[in-house]
């Protein structure tokens, strides 16, 4: 196996690891919702539902597109690049909206 191929494989492994971390973050948020110290679980769950769903949806898109790139053995198409960028952006926007919502509740 050539050096370039090994490097590319390591990069793919890193990206898949980062995608797996997104799923882990979503799972950890759900675990927090079921913690005994949460006073109003139903309310908290309804507040995090959109955030968790977006993280999972975006992670699915990223995993699917990375798999397509690996299986094809070619560079990502422009369409894949756009989908990946949009998936990441959607996570960031949803996190930002959630943070703003939490700050408003604190006031």
Which residue range(s) make up the domain with 73? 3-106
Query: Hey, what are 38's tokens?
Result: 């949460």
Question: How many domains does the chain contain in total?
Answer: 1
Neighbouring CB atoms inside 10 A of 57's CB total 15
What's the pTM? Answer: 0.82
Which tens digits make up the pLDDT trace of 66-77?
888 888 888 889
Which long-range contacts does 4-10 make (Cβ < 8 Å, 24+ apart)? Answer: none
Q: Are 41 and 33 in contact (CB under 8 A)?
A: yes
**pLDDT string in tens for the chain (107-residue length):** 567 667 777 887 888 888 999 999 999 999 988 888 988 889 889 989 999 999 999 999 999 998 888 888 888 899 999 999 999 999 999 999 999 988 888 76
Q: Are 95 and 51 in contact (CB under 8 A)?
A: yes
CA nearest neighbour of 8 among 62, 59, 83, 75: 75
């Amino acid at each position: 196996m050539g050096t370039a191929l090994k490097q590319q494989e390591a990069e793919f492994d890193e990206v898949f690891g980062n995608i797996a971390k997104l799923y882990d973050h979503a799972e950890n948020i759900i675990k927090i919702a079921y913690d005994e110290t949460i006073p109003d679980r139903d309310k908290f769950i309804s507040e995090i539902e959109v955030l968790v769903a977006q993280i999972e949806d975006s992670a699915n898109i990223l995993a699917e597109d990375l798999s397509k790139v690996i299986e094809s053995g070619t560079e990502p198409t422009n369409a894949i690049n756009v989908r990946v960028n949009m998936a990441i952006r959607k996570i960031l926007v949803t996190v930002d909206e959630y943070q703003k919502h939490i700050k408003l509740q604190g006031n």
